[in-house]
Structure formats: C-alpha cells, structure tokens
Structure 1
Amino acid sequence: MKFKTILLVVLVSALKSNAQELTASLKDLSFMTGNWFQKHEWGDMEEYWSAPMGDCMTSTFRCVKDGKAVFYEFMIIEQTGKIPVMKLRHFNPGSIGWEDKEHPQSFPLVQLVQNKAVFAAADGSLRLSYVRSATDKLDITLEEKDKKGKLNTTVFNLTRR
C-alpha cells in the first residue's frame, strides 16, 4: 500500500512538472487586428483592434443605439512577462468611467490556439474568447457570472468593415 502511495505521488509530481506553462507574444494575437462591426439588440457595435506595436495592442469599442452612444470600452493588451494581459475600462457617454481609475479590469491570456485567444479574470468571474472564424469574421464570446454565481454567455459575431 505504501509503495502505491509513493508511486502515485511521484507520477502526479511528474505530470505537474511536465505541464507546459502558457507562453505567448502579442504577434500571436495579430488575428484580432481590424475594424469589426455588428448590429446587435443592444445597438450597432464597432470594435477596432490595432496591430501590435512594441509591447502593446489597443482597442476601442462603441455601442450606439438610435443614434445615441450607449457605452464605450477602451482596451489594451500589454506583454507582461510570458503572456499578454488585457486591461479593459468601460465608459458611459461623456467619458464617465465605470471602473476605479487606478484599477482597470485585468484579464491574462489563459488559452491560445490558432486564431483563438481566451482571456480570463483571475477570480473566474469572466472569460472573453476571441475567435477569427474566417478572414472577415471575428466571434467574441463573453462568459460572465452574475451576482448569484450563475454563468451568462453572450456571443458577438462581428464582420470586418
């Protein structure tokens, strides 16, 4: 019995040490670059992603309904150590910020495969997936837990402008 326990501990330790730590660069996220648009129930949505430059990428987002701005987002992705980290801020019309000025929402990259990147909050409350499904299509999936812990999923299917 003792031998089996020791063997199990050794095997688990070996598996953990062989698990690959995610390493990625901003160039791996180049597939997100472009001007993307969607008509949505919330309003007309436009999201622009710049190409990587130096250690960052930037993005602006706007949602406009009936000719009036509903809200905006400003996002940056910065190379932080071995992985890119997305920082996001929301704004009401008039540039009124939602988040504390010292603490933007932060989402490290947690998964990367060809033309797909997943960013997630450290506490598991939110995941953002970006998938380039065709040369002119960018699908964004927002998975967010509400105050009761229930997971809500919203999919945005954007087209290149």
Structure 2
Amino acid sequence: MKNIITFIVLAIGLNTYSQEKKILEPKLENIAWIAGTWHGEAFGGITEEIWSEPSGGSMMATFKLIVDEKVQFYEIEVIREIEDSLILQLKHFGSDLKGWETKDETVDFPLREITENKVVFEGMTFEKVSSNEMNVYVDIKNENGTVETVKFNYKK
C-alpha cells in the first residue's frame, strides 16, 4: 500500500511539473507577451526597451541605457524565425550611433526552449512575471573572462 501511495504522489508531482514546464513550439506567437514598452534600472542607470508585436516573421526592439542623464549605448534587437526555430540577434551602438560590432557582425543567441512564461536563448532569458512585468537575464563576459548573469527587471 505504501508503494502505491508513493507512486501516486510521484505521478501527481511529475504531472504538475510537466504542466508548469510545458515546452511550446518555437513560434513568435508564443512569445508575443514580450511586446511593449519596458522600463527598468541596470548598470547604475535607467533602461528602456521597446519590443514590437510579431510581424513579417520577426519582432524588433530598441534598447537604451541612460546614466547621469546621458545615453551610454543603444541596441537594436531582433527575434526572427529561422529553420523551424527562433534566434535573437543584436547590435550595439555608442551614444554617437557608431556600431560596436563590424558591419556584417551580430551577437547571436540561439533558442533553447519556450515555456508559457519563459523564453530561454543561449545567454539571454526573458521571464514573464505578469502582464506588466518581466525579467531579462543576460550573460555578460567580464574583462577577466568570467561570465556574470545580469538581471534586468522591467515594468510597462
């Protein structure tokens, strides 16, 4: 009898976990909740990230960091459908709009998985907290070569 109860408890627990962790198809419609104008704080300043609704097989965004009332840098970001998956690509620009990457170079984040409230790219994760709040986790390589995960908390 004890084994049956243990089995039932495990089965219920696994079913609950699988419902929370249900993997969704790599389609833009499954991450449309990212769209909107988001504000937060990071790197000692104010951040702004504006994501478009999915259209034309992609979503696009701009990012801006302001420290001491001066723009430090911008980013242009794109999430696009490619080969039955998604990829996030971005380019950085200084406050003078001069690019950090070369003309044909992008910083690429391949998709790992999508769940109901999370989009995990290799090196960047979007987490839906509520319809008006999300966290973005970015892996950033320090000058000494170690990787630090930076959390951006955004609100609409």
TM range (shorter): 0.7 to 0.9
70-79 or 146-155, which deviates more: 146-155
The equivalences for 1:88-127 within 5 A come to: 88-120=90-122, 127=123
Q: Is the 8 A contact 1:59 1:76 kept in 2?
A: yes
1: CA distance, partners of 2:35 / 2:148: 27
Aligned to 2:30: 28
Aligned to 1:136: 132
Q: Is the 8 A contact 1:23 1:82 kept in 2?
A: no
Q: Deviations over 1:131-158 (max 9, x none)?
A: 0111111100112343544221111111
The equivalences for 1:77-96 within 5 A come to: 77-96=79-98
2: CA distance, partners of 1:66 / 1:37: 16
Please report the TM-score for the alignment, with normalisation by the length of structure 1: 0.77
Secondary structure, in 3 states, of the residue corresponding to 2:47? strand
Deviation at 1:58, TM superposition (A): 0.3
1: CA distance, partners of 2:54 / 2:76: 16
1: CA distance, partners of 2:78 / 2:58: 7
1: CA distance, partners of 2:38 / 2:139: 20
Which structure exhibits the higher relative contact order, with contacts defined as CA atoms closer than 8 Å and separated by 6 or more residues? Answer: 2
The equivalences for 1:18-57 within 5 A come to: 23-57=25-59
CA RMSD of aligned residues (A): 1.8
* Structure 1 unaligned residues grouped into runs of 5+: 1-21, 121-126
Please report the TM-score for the alignment, with normalisation by the length of structure 2: 0.79
Give the letter for the 1:136 counterpart: N
Q: Is the 8 A contact 2:41 2:153 kept in 1?
A: no
Deviation at 1:116, TM superposition (A): 0.6
Aligned to 2:151: 155
72-81 or 36-45, which deviates more: 36-45
User: How many residues are matched?
Assistant: 134
Report the CA distance shift for 1:41/1:117 in structure 2 as closer, same or farther (over 3 A): same
Give the letter for the 1:101 counterpart: K
1: CA distance, partners of 2:43 / 2:25: 37
1: CA distance, partners of 2:34 / 2:111: 14
